[in-house]
Amino acid sequence: MNLNTRIKNYWEGEAQGYSEAIEDELNGFERKAWADLVLEYAPSRDCLDILDIGTGPGFFPIVLTQGGHNVTGIDLTENMIEFARFNLAREGVNANLMTMDCQNLKFPDNSFDLLVCRNLTWTLDDPARAYKEWYRVLRPGGRILIFDACWYLHRFDENLKIAYEKKEKEVLMKYGHPMHQHKNQAEDDALSRKLFMSDKVRPQWDLDIMLKLGFSKVFADTSVGERVLNEEQQDRNSMHPPFLAGGEK
């Protein structure tokens, strides 16, 4: 089994848990916080053609379509798309949802004004190829917004590992559960040691590859967690805070 298939199979099994997390966000302050954050960095246009890469259970298609934009959501895993369809129907929202490999997009060149991607790039087996595809489908003057974190850098840096283990003990005592839980924790641990992004220092890696691909400008924001995470989430994610890496074509 190649790595991309193994990654796909893993996320098929995680779909329900992620859908439940999305439901919590839609019922909380995160709905408006994320929409405001994305549109702050988006091109200034009343109606954008947006591609949500790795849409999962459909959070961005819901909040951005409700803002008056045309949203297409893609995901490699069929289960994620099924949950996305369910969540959009429950919200009374229409968006174009498709099962598709984000490293091999089926869209023409220059198709979208804005690309958004949340907590996906760390899972890719060939992110450089993916970024090249994303650049291709972005219109001139369009922007890409990538939200992610250095989830597993502590497994490749001894000092970070010591600090991470200390923090995990604190989180367990404080909240009664670990910093992160997955349905298949053993597979998560195994994959984390094989994934390309796990040992990369980000968002610097992302900015470097975007410049190499020809983006006219790049930018980063390492404080986005203060806007989209509650106090407990910020505490639990303090060893791998979320960042934004963006570029304009």
- What is the domain-level CATH number for residue 227? 3.40.50.150
Cα 126 to Cα 157: distance, rounded to the nearest angstrom:
22
Supply 127's token pair.
């992110």
Q: Which of 42, 38, 245 is nearest to 142 (CA)?
A: 42
Count CB atoms within 10 A of the CB of residue 98. Answer: 13
One digit per residue, the tens of pLDDT, for the chain of length 249 reads 677 777 777 767 777 887 888 899 999 999 999 999 999 999 998 899 999 999 999 999 999 999 999 999 999 999 999 999 999 999 999 999 999 999 999 999 999 999 999 999 998 989 999 999 999 999 999 999 999 999 999 999 999 999 999 999 998 999 888 777 776 677 777 777 888 999 999 999 999 999 999 999 999 999 999 999 999 999 999 999 999 999 999
Q: In what order do the strands lie in the sheet with 49-53?
A: 96-99, 70-75, 49-53, 112-118, 138-148, 243-248, 217-221
- Give the total number of structural domains in the chain: 1
Supply 232's token pair.
């407990």
Domain of 46?
1-246
pTM of the model: 0.94
Cα 51 to Cα 13: distance, rounded to the nearest angstrom:
24
